Amino acid sequence: MAFKNSGDIKPFVDKIWLSSPTMHGKELEYMTEAYKTNWMSTVGKNINEIEAQVAEYVGVKYAVALSAGTAALHLATKLAGEKLYGQARPNKGTLEGHTVFASDMTFDASINPIAYEDGEAVFIDTEPDTWNMDPVALEKAFELYPDTKLVVIAHLYGTPGKVEELKAVCDKHGALIVEDAAESFGAKYLLDGKWVETGALGDFNCISFNGNKIITGSCGGMFLTDSKDDADKVRKWSTQSREAAPWYQHEEIGYNYRMSNVIAGVIRGQMPYLQAHINQKKAIYERYKEGLKDLPVKMNPYDAEKSIPNFWLSCLLIDEDAMCKQVRDDQQALFIPKTGRSCPTEILETLASFNAEGRPIWKPMHSQPIYRSHAFITADGNGRGQSNAYIDKGNARDIGMDIFRRGLCLPSDNKMNEEQQELIIKLIYRCFS
């Protein structure tokens, strides 16, 4: 038994969350204003205000407020498909018959829109320096699939990826980028000597205001762009694709994806607190880093010269030689406790038993049952079928699965106080005792 509780630590009375909404007061005022003025709709002042505020903050010309980050990603992906391959028939996706390169270690909402649009995602392995898409693997993917013209790139846990290198590979091959900045609103990247916000780095950019994000509307998302035509198109698609006629006239397939003015009121109330939330999350990250420094673990890494993360989630990675045995099937996990060692399953179960919420790392998309038949490209090339029953070549490279196996997301709620965080750190030490 590795974890020992000598009874001195009591479970938290109030649950410590991974990342929960933090309201400040103004949100209710703006929601109430929508109610009192009867703008309980998908038009209204709150929407206009937050579109202007977010566009200004991110440094893009236009922001289109949508019902979710997923909706933003869908319309961004559809728009990219239409630009590359033309308008699709009403019952077909714009990516039919085409491959799209996509981040592998991310939430499935990043990449499902490729399938909504009838495209085939090819998953690109992760690099160990920022836990995002590996530019070397991306270059290999273009060697194997030279006709691919679209790449979906996510910034994981609020940490910008190797944007400069990824953009250079995409430019070389004439490919467009859908940027998924759902988790990284407020994070910055140094591009060509200038700090640029995530959400302004791709050709079609998306953020999320889901309840667990750095600021929230309870739900919601945005499409961000410098192109008026693109903003107009996404706004039109999101409101059932109505044409300029006195009646409901439709030449394109439409969606009901517009943000509600009530939700926009919540986001409007949250916007002034974005930087305060980032500061709190950064302090949490730094306290974990300092508090866990004597354990055989590392925090989720970032490039301190070229990026300023928003520190949305603090994560840790256990050193290989400090891992106890752990197995996971498609639904359950088991581990064998060992003195001086631990594993994500043990730490997550321990935290849960003390009423604190952690989470496994995003399970890589190439290993998800729904996408197991899709191609997966690593820095070595094709990542599928690389073991050999007759010739031992060692383990094939798969950085994402390695991080999934040895990593976990720690409770990162900005309402967690220092004392509570110290107890969490203590619990993690005991897992290794």
Ligand X SMILES: Cc1ncc(COP(=O)(O)O)c(C=O)c1O
Under the binding rule (CB under 6 A), the answer on residue 132 touching ligand X is no
Among 31, 121, 182, 187, binds ligand X (CB under 6 A): 182
Under the binding rule (CB under 6 A), the answer on residue 210 touching ligand X is yes
Q: Which is nearer to ligand X, 71 or 138 (CB)?
A: 71
Window 54 to 93, contacts with ligand X (CB under 6 A): 68-70, 73
Q: Which is nearer to ligand X, 70 or 225 (CB)?
A: 70
Window 103 to 122, contacts with ligand X (CB under 6 A): 106-107, 109-110
Q: Applying CB under 6 A, what is the total number of residues that bind ligand X? A: 15
Under the binding rule (CB under 6 A), the answer on residue 154 touching ligand X is yes
Compute the least distance from the CB of residue 105 to ligand X, in Å: 10
Window 281 to 310, contacts with ligand X (CB under 6 A): none
Compute the least distance from the CB of residue 199 to ligand X, in Å: 12
Among 51, 180, 303, 357, binds ligand X (CB under 6 A): 180
Q: Which is nearer to ligand X, 214 or 428 (CB)?
A: 214
Q: Which is nearer to ligand X, 102 or 379 (CB)?
A: 102
Under the binding rule (CB under 6 A), the answer on residue 94 touching ligand X is no
Q: Which is nearer to ligand X, 259 or 427 (CB)?
A: 259
Compute the least distance from the CB of residue 347 to ligand X, in Å: 22
- In SS3 terms, the chain reads as CCCCCCCCCCCCCCCECCCCCCCCCHHHHHHHHHHHCCCCCCCCHHHHHHHHHHHHHHCCCEEEEECEHHHHHHHHHHHHHHHHHCCCCCCCCCCCCCEEEEECCCCHHHHHHHHHCCCEEEEECECCCCCCECHHHHHHHHHHCCCCCEEEEECHHHCCCCHHHHHHHHHHCCCEEEEECCCCCCCEEEECCEEEECCCCCCEEEEECECCCCCCCECEEEEEECCHHHHHHHHHHHECCCCCCCCCCCCCCCCECECCHHHHHHHHHHHHHHHHHHHHHHHHHHHHHHHCCCCCEEECCCCCCCEECCCCCCEEEECHHHECEEEECCCCEEEECCCCCECHHHHHHHHHHCCECCEECCCCHHHCHHHCCCCEEECCEECCCCCCCCCCCCCCCCHHHHHHHHEEECCCCCCCCHHHHHHHHHHHHHHCC
Compute the least distance from the CB of residue 207 to ligand X, in Å: 8
Under the binding rule (CB under 6 A), the answer on residue 183 touching ligand X is yes
Under the binding rule (CB under 6 A), the answer on residue 161 touching ligand X is no
Q: Which is nearer to ligand X, 70 or 261 (CB)?
A: 70
Q: Which stretch binds ligand X (CB under 6 A): 27-35, 177-185, 337-345, 379-387?
A: 177-185
Under the binding rule (CB under 6 A), the answer on residue 221 touching ligand X is yes
Under the binding rule (CB under 6 A), the answer on residue 203 touching ligand X is no
Give me the residues that bind ligand X (CB under 6 A), please. 68-70, 73, 106-107, 109-110, 154, 180, 182-183, 208, 210, 221
